[in-house]
Amino acid sequence: THTHTHMFDDVVPDVSVLGLVLLAVVAAAAHFKRWLTVDGLLVAVPVGFSVLLPGLDIAGMLFSFFVSSSIITKIAARISARAGNNRSHAYAEDDAKRGRNCWQVAATGGVPALLCVLRNVPGMAHIWRPAYLAYVACSAGDTWASEIGQLAKTTPRLITTWKPVPAGRDGGVTLVGTLASIGGGAAVGIFGGTWQERWLGMLYGGIGSVIDSVMGAVLQDPMTMQLSRWKALNILVNLGSSVLTAALAVAVQSSLVAQATLAVVLAAITFRLAVSK
């Protein structure tokens, strides 16, 4: 009699009917509301199925990010249009009108889907869930910060120099945007199984947005590069910041002191933005 098991034995499509219905509803809404392009939808369906494998709580994190970020992107575009403001970049305008394409979906959902599929591989048991939570929280925090932050009335500060910069400049931060990033993380963390996960969702939404801003300030300057290059680099920066946030979460998962230190850093940045004129 064979008693051993294979590493992928537990990765079985034991997906509830409710989960499949949820996936179908979100996919239909995404198509109807133009949250996704056609190629984006084709990538989103297998991603959605993959994150359903561990359970509805895990799927809820990614679905919450996608639905909330899509709605916020549309609303922010309408507010900007009514106010007569130009969107920070033609790319953001394209997102609001056409929806996210396959590359953007792959960048935000590919790693979470892979973590779910490989969750039972030896060595992944204590890694995949904190990495997943942090990755998705970072993606949500960054999107909320970008869309809501550019509606702020205050002048953004470049995170690397703290000098005033035009609204929409990559690397620019505002108090409203920073608080929004924490809110985006909270929208993901609320599906966590413990209060600690819910709190960590807020933390990694904020910290992930800070990491993204630093990378954007260093690598992206829309005034000095072509739009096509900026588009590609923006996807890579979003991917890189989420990966770094996930790695950070894994590194500090067993240390409350380290997590508290990250919270202090985020609070210090938020406070400085609050007192900046």
Query: Which is higher by pLDDT, 184 or 79?
Result: 184
Nearest to 208 by CA among 152, 272, 265: 265
d(CA 96, CA 226): 20
Which pTM was predicted? 0.86
Would residue 6 be called left, alpha or beta, if left means φ above 0 and alpha means ψ between -120 and 50 degrees? beta
Q: Residue 231 has which token pair? A: 């588009």
* Residue 33 pLDDT > 80: no
Instruction: Please report the pLDDT score of residue 212 as a whole number.
Output: 95
Share of the chain above pLDDT 70, in %: 85
Instruction: Please report the pLDDT score of residue 133 as a whole number.
Output: 98
Instruction: Please report the pLDDT score of residue 16 as a whole number.
Output: 65
Nearest to 151 by CA among 174, 181, 182, 179: 174
Q: Residue 192 has which token pair? A: 């966590």
By the 8 A CB rule, do 128 and 116 touch?
yes
92-140 pLDDT, tens digit per residue, is 555 556 678 888 889 999 999 999 999 999 999 999 999 999 999 999 9
233-277 pLDDT, tens digit per residue, is 888 999 999 999 999 999 999 999 999 999 999 999 999 999 987
DSSP state of 116: H
The three-point CA angle 149-57-41 to 5° equals 65
- Residue in the structure block whose two tokens are 């106010």: 83
